[in-house]
Structure 1
Amino acid sequence: MEPIIQLTHAPLERDALVAAVSHPSVGGIVVFEGVVRDHARGKQVRHLEYEAYEEMARQRIQEIIAEAEQRWGVERVAVAHRFGRLEIGEASVIIVVASPHRAEAFDACRYIIDTLKASVPIWKKEVATTGEEWVEG
């Protein structure tokens, strides 16, 4: 299955991503959903704003998925990331990995989100009650 990569300003749809990677050969589906929380580093967060270099982000996400497929043998992956203004409680990123066995799905999912946060050109601005700040990962 070709990996699914969604880079969008629209709300993310977890159920649609899970359905897209589901298959009779799958024994485990792992979902990571990153949501906007109301605090960070001792500050009260009002909302977040995400920006990206979309073409490069898509390419790097494809590379990360290919690395995960090679390391853990997973073949059914979906990655969705949202941009623009996100309110408290909204999903900013969803990673879905489906595989015959749960261990590989967990390991691949963790690798994808950790590597995405560290190496994909996506930037996050926290808008807090005390001001605005661009933050890493």
Structure 2
Amino acid sequence: MPVIVQALKDASYQDQQDLQKIYRDAPEWLFAPFSGEAELIESALADGALIAGRFNDRLLSAGILQRHRDVWYLSHLCVRKVTRRRGVAERLVNQAQKMASQAGAELRLLAPAGHLEAQALAAKLCVPLEVPAT
């Protein structure tokens, strides 16, 4: 599946609809510190921190990519439910890792402690996993 990963600067109406579909099925723990999907999407777009995976002009996955000088953090990673288990999250993480490396930074995943999905993805891709500060 040729998923194109891109930083989302200007979200079209269709992109906004796709983002809502991506996060609609997300577990509640994924939204912290946001109150829900709408606030997460709005905040990430306003900050220019949203990264997304696109296939056939539709968004399938998204996450928040915080860029710092030496370390970039990928958090709130979610794949649309009907597309899960097809390597879309892996593609997004690998591309974010490449972007970070090109900027001279290291990529780390951020997820609350105890979430096996995040731990498994980090282990599979050999990406450090950190627990966000509360």
TM-score exceeds 0.5: no
The structure with the greater share of residues assigned to helix is 2
The structure with the greater share of residues assigned to strand is 1
Which of these two proteins has the greater Rg computed from alpha carbons?
A: 1
TM-score, length basis structure 2: 0.32
Structure number with greater CO (CA < 8 Å, separation at least 6) is: 1
TM-score, length basis structure 1: 0.31
